[in-house]
Amino acid sequence: MNRTAGPATAAARLWLAAAATGVVATLATLAFHAGIRAIEYLSTASGSGLVAAARGLSPGHRFLVSSVGAMLAGLVLQGGGQWAARGASGGTHIDYIDAAREGKVALNDRTTLVRSFSSLISVGTGASIGREGPMVQLAAWLATWVGRIFPMPPADRNVLLACGIAAGIGSAYHAPVAGMVFVLELALGFLPRRSVVPVLVAAGTSSGLLAWWTGPLPLYTMPSMPLVSTNLGMAILEGALGGVLGWLFLRLLEVSRRVFLGIGSPTVRLALGGVLVGLISVGVPEVWGNGYSVVSQILREDSAWSWVALILAAKFAATILSAGSGAIGGVFTPTLFLGAASGHVLSHFAAMVDPALSGDPRAVGVIGMAAALAAVTHAPLMSIVMVLEMTNQFSLTVPVMFACGVAYAISTRFGAMPLYGNPIEGRAA
C-alpha cells in the first residue's frame, strides 16, 4: 500500500495544482482585460474598445495618444528594468517559451511585472500589438508561484509551467485544445506522459471558468459556414497568399527590430514607434489594438474589399513598427487579422474573375487566419486547432488543413525564422 500511496498522492497534488493554475490563469486574463479598459478610458474617455475609441477621436488626438502612450510604456520599461535588475527574484528568464524549453522554472518576478505594466500602457493607448502574449506570460508566471506554494519536486514545477502556458492560451483565445497543442508543438516540441493530465486539467479549468464568467461562446462569433467545393480551391490560393504574407511579415519584423535597436534607449525606440503608428492612425484608426474588432466585423459581414485592403496594408505596417520598436505584446492576433483580411480580399478578387470560384468571403477569411498563423509560427497543427476552436467552424477543417500545409511549406521554404523558434529543430541541431 505504501508503495502506491506515495505516487498516487504526488499525482493528486499535481492535478490539484494544475487546476489551481487554470484558475489563476483565468484571473490573470480577466485582470489584464480590466487593466486595458482602465488605461483606454484614461487616454480616450471611452470604454467601447480601442478601434471604436480611435474612430471617435479627432486625428490629432489619436496621434497624441499613440505617441505619449508609447513614450510612457518605454519609460516604464527602461526605469522598471533598472529596478528589476537591482532586486531580481525568481530567476533570470523573462520569456515563458525559453523557460519551458530549457526546463527551468525561473521567470523573473520583477521583470515580468515591469513588462506586463508596460504592455498594459502600450496596448491601452493603441499600439498595434496583441494583448494575449502578456496574458500568457502572466499565466505562466503565476503557475510558477503555484509551484512554489505547493510542495513538489522540480520536475513537477516544470509541468506546472507548461500548465500555465496551456491555460493562458486556453483562456486568452477560448481555445483549450489549442493551448495543449501550443505546448506540444511550440513550447516543448513533445509532451511527457506525466504532463498530459495536468495540462489537460489546467487548460480545461481555465476555459471552463472563463466560459462560466463570460458565456460559452467562441472568441469570434459568426454564421455557420458550410463546406463547399470552392473552399478547397480557395484554400490552396489563400494558403499561398498567407505563406507569402507570413514570410514577408517575419522578414520585415526582423529588419524593423534591427533598425530600432540602433536607436537610443527603450524610451526613444518605443516613442518613435508610437509616433509612426500614430501617423498611420491619423488616416486609418482601425490600426489601433490587436485587430480583434475588425476581424470580427470581417467574419460577420461582407465588407467592402477596398476598405479591408486599406486596413490590411496599414495594419501590416503598424504591427511591424509597434513590435519592431520593442513594445511588449504579442503578434498572434494581428497575424490572424492579416489572414482574415487577405482571405476576404482574395475572395472578392476571385469573384471578379469568376463568381463561381470564390465562395463566401467569411469562410475564406477563416481559412486565411489559419494560413497566416501557420506561416508566422511554423506550427500548422496548432494553427488548425486554434482557428477552428476560435471560430467554431469545424466544417472548414479540410480547407483549413490544405491552407496551413501550403502556407507552412512556402514560409519554411524561404528560410524565415519563425516567431517562437522551433523546439524540435533546435533539439535536433
- Amino acid 157: pLDDT: 82
CA distances from 64 to 5, 271, 274, 277 (A): 63, 11, 9, 11
User: In this predicted structure, what is the pLDDT of residue 191?
Assistant: 66
Q: Which architecture does CATH list for 8-214?
A: Orthogonal Bundle (1.10)
Task: Name which of 329, 362, 313, 304 is nearest 126 in CA terms.
Answer: 329
What is the location of CATH 1.10.3080.10 in the chain? 8-214, 229-428
Closest C-alpha to 245, from 383, 367, 376: 376
Look at the chain and count its residues.
429
The string of DSSP codes covering 224-277 is -----HHHHHHHHHHHHHHHHHHHHHHHHHHHHHHHHHTSSSHHHHHHHHHHHH
Look up the CATH number of domain 229-428: 1.10.3080.10
Place of cell 482602465: 38
pLDDT for 325 equals: 92
Q: CA angle, 216 as apex, 212 and 218 as ends, to 5°?
A: 135
Identify any residues that bridge with 330 across adjacent strands, giving them in sequence order: 130
Count of helices and strands (H, E) across the chain: 19, 0
Q: 288-312: buried (b, 16+ CB within 10 Å) or exposed (e) per residue?
A: bbbbbbbbbebbeeebebebbbebb
The pTM score is 0.89
**Residue 345 grid cell:** 480580399
pLDDT confidence of residue 217: 81
Q: What are the pLDDT tens digits along the chain (429 aa)?
A: 344 446 667 778 888 988 999 999 999 999 999 999 999 999 888 877 889 899 999 999 999 999 999 999 999 988 876 665 555 454 555 677 777 677 777 777 788 888 899 999 999 999 999 888 888 889 988 988 888 887 778 878 888 888 898 999 988 888 889 888 888 777 676 666 777 888 889 999 998 898 888 877 888 888 888 877 667 888 999 999 999 999 999 999 999 999 999 887 889 999 999 999 999 999 999 999 888 889 999 999 878 899 999 999 999 999 999 999 989 888 888 999 999 999 999 998 988 887 777 678 999 999 999 999 999 998 899 999 999 999 999 999 999 999 999 999 998 887 667 766 654 444 433
Phi and psi, residue 130, nearest 5°: -90, 150
Rounded to the nearest 10 degrees, the angle between the axes of helix 2-44 and helix 132-149 is 140
d(CA 111, CA 101): 19
